[in-house]
Chains A and B, each alone.
Chain A
Amino acid sequence: MESLYNVLGFPILSLSIFLPTAGALFIWMFVKDDAAVRWATLSVSVATFVVTLPLLLSFDHTTAHMQFEELHPWISSFNINYALGIDGISMPFIVLTSLLTIVCIVSAWRCIQTRVKEYMLAFLILETTLIGVFASLDAVLFYFFWEAMLIPMYLIIGVWGGKNRVYATLKFFLYTLGGSVLMLIAIMAMYFKTGGSFSMLAYMDYPFNFDWQFWIFLAFFVAFAVKVPMWPFHTWLPDAHTEAPTAGSVILAGILLKMGAYGFLRFSLPMLPDASQYFVPFMVFLSLIAIVYVSLVAMMQTDLKRLIAYSSIAHMGFVTLGTFMFTEIAIEGAVFGMISHGFVAAALFLCVGVLYDRMHTREISAYGGVVNVMPVFAVVMMFFAMANVALPGASSFVAEIMVLLGTFNPSPEAMLYMPFSMKWVAIIAASSVVLSACYTLWMVKRVLMGDLVKDEVKTLKDMNVREFSFFAPLIVLVIWLGLYPAPALDLLHVTVAHLVDQATSSKLADAALIAQGAAAHLTGH
C-alpha cells in the first residue's frame, strides 16, 4: 500500500463522515423528548463542524496532492476500496456542508413540530452522505454516497413538505436515480477498461481513447446535469424546492446542486479531457440557456420559492460555463461561485422560511410592505437579494466577474471545437447581470416595498434572536468573501492549476505515445 498523505495522521475524514450518523444512532436509541432531540442534534452538528475545521486549518494549499487520505480495502472481491481524500476543490464543500447543516437544524427549531426526531435524524444521515460524496476517492464509494443521499432527502421532502410534496419528492427521486444509474454503468465500464480498478485517481491517469471518453462523458453528463440541474433536466428542481421544508431547500440549494458541478470537476474534466473539450460548445450552449432563458422564467414566477429555485438554476449556469473554460480564473470562479451561492441561496430560502412561518403562503402577491412591520428582516433579505444580483462587495460578484473574465479569455483547448469566438458567449452571459437584477429587485419590490395593504401583513412580527442567529454567519461570510476573497482563493490555486493541466492535456497523445513506446519496446529499440 502506498504511503498516504495525511498530515494529521488521524482518520479525520472518516470521523467527519460518520460522526453525524453515530450521533443519529445515539439520538434514535436514547433521546426521547422533542426538545432534547433538538439540542442533541444541534450538538452533534456543531461537533461535526468542529471536526471538519481542521480540514480547513491544516489544509496544505501548496500541493495538488490529495490530503487527509485514508485507504482500506472494503470489498476485496471487486477491488473496491474505502478510499478518502480531499483537495482544494472538495475541502470547501465539506466545511460548507457541516456549516449549513447547523443552519438547517437551527432553522427547523420551531417550524418543525411533527416527527421532530425523524426530521433531525434524516438531516444527520444526509450530512453523512454529503460529506461522503465530497471525500470519496473510489468511484463506487462515491456512487454509494451519491445515491444513499436520496433516501433521507426523499423523506425530508415527502414527510415535511408542502401540499404537493408527494409528486415533488417522487419526481426528485426518480429523476436523480435515473440520471445516476447511467453513471454506475459508466463506472463499471471504466473498471474493465482500466483492468480492474475503481480508483478515481487511476481513472485520471488512464489514457481512454476518444470513443470511450465520448460515451462515458455522456453517461456522466446525464447524472451530473440532472443534479446541477442544467436545462433541460431542471424541471424537478422548482417542484422539489417549492414543496421541501425550508431546511430541505437550504441543503438542496446549498449542497446538493453543487454535487453535480463537483462531478464535472472531479470526473469529466480530469478523466475525460478530450471529450470535455469536444463537448465545450454543447455545455456552453446549455449554460447560456440556463443563464438567459431560466432567468426570464424566474421573472415570471408568482411563488417566492420557485423564483429562487429558478434563480439557482441560472447561477449554476454560470458555474458550468466557468467549468468548461479550462482556465484557472474561470474554474476558480466556478468553485467560488458554488460556495458563494451556497450561502446566498441558502439565506434566501431561509428568508422565505421566515415569511412562510408567519403567513403560511409563498405567493408573492400575498405580501407587500413587509419592510414596515419587519425592518430587521427587510434589511437582511435586501442584503441577500443584492448578493443574489452579484453586487460588488458580495461574494457572488467575485465569482461572476472571475467566470466572465475567464470566458472572455478561454484556454485554447476550450476553443478547439467552438464555432465562434467566446467573446459572444461572454457578452450573452453578462446579460445575467441585468436579468438577475430584474427578477430579484422586482421580487423585493413586491414583497418588501410598497404600502401596507394586506391585513395579514400588518400583524407580522419581526425576526427573533434565533432567526437572526442563522443569518449572521452567512452575512459575515458573504461580505468577507466579497471584500477579501484572497485567502479562500489561495486554497484553490494549486488544485485548480493541476486540474486545468489535466483538462487541457489530451489523453489521446498519451495513448499514441504509449502505443509508440510499446512498439519500440517490441522491436527492441
Chain B
Amino acid sequence: MSDPAGTDLGSNQAYVLHVNGQGRDVRDAWLGESLLFVLRERLGLMGSKGACEQGECGSCSVLVDGALVCSCLVLAAAAQGQQIVTIEGVAPVGSPSDVQQAFVDAGAVQCGFCTPGLIMATHSLLERSPEPTEMEIREELSGNICRCTGYGRIIDAVQRVAVARRSQVAP
C-alpha cells in the first residue's frame, strides 16, 4: 500500500501489537482472532478474562488508544499501530494502583473474575469524570457484569478512590 501508515496483511503474516508500551510480535496467528484471544493465547497476558465473547460482560476490557473497549470485539490484526493497555500495564505486580487497592480495601473483590475489567473501567471512568455521582458510576460500569458482589462494594471502592484523589489534590 502506498500510504506508510496503512497496512495490508496476507494470511498467516506476522504482525506487531503495542501492548503496555512494548512491541510484541504475533506469529502464526489466524487473522480473524480477537485481541482478547491474542493477548491471552499468543502473548500470555492472562489478566483480561474471556467469558461472553460478545461484548456483554466487560471482563476483557482494555484501553485502545486511551478508549475503554472490549478486547473480544477488537480484531487484533487491525489493532497494529494502536496503543493497547491491559490490566498488566496498570501497575507493576506487588504495587497495586489506587483503584486496585481500593477494590481490596472495600471488599469489592470476591471470585475476582470480573475484577480486571472493572479496574480498567474504573480507571477510565475516573479519568473522564474525577468525581462521579453514584448514578454515573452505575451507568459507566453497566458494561461490567459481576455475579458475586451485588455491586455495592464496587461502587464504594470507586467512591473511595475519588475521595482520596480529591484530598491529594486539595491543599
Q: Do A and B bind each other?
A: no
